[in-house]
Amino acid sequence: MIDFVAADEDIRSLARWLRDEDGLTGRVGFTESAPRDGEMGGTIEALSVILGSGVAKQAVTSFFEWLKHRRTADQVKILVKRPGRTDHLELECGSATEADAVLLSVERFLNGTE
């Protein structure tokens, strides 16, 4: 699973962007915190993408395409988790120029060659 953590407005914008990608249809959802006392619903904590064959590369590539279209360069945290493992990869990025390095790190982590 890949989680993207950022400001609420950015997460919603990224969700719309990723949901328009053919290969990501049905794999994109929000991770929400439990509602606190007096609240009707929880707070969005992250945008999650469920991984499958080729999905990690497409999700990260699409994320950087989204970044290119952003007017601001706010930092987005990317958390990558392998199924059945407790370790994770955590990266922060805010520029489309980081795409190649981030994609390489994600692929190495998922392949167990980090």
Q: What is the pLDDT of residues 67-87, one digit of tens each?
A: 888 766 578 899 999 888 889
Nearest Cα to 87, choosing from 109, 113, 59? Answer: 109
What's the confidence (pLDDT) of residue 7? 86
Each domain of the chain, given as residue ranges in start order, spans 2-111
What's the confidence (pLDDT) of residue 4? 93
DSSP label of 40: S
Q: Which residue has the tokens 């990690």?
A: 56
DSSP label of 84: T
Q: What is the pLDDT of residues 4-44, one digit of tens each?
A: 998 888 888 999 999 999 889 899 998 877 777 777 766 78
DSSP label of 95: -
Q: What three-state secondary structure class fits 32? A: strand
- Could you tell me the pTM of the whole model? 0.82
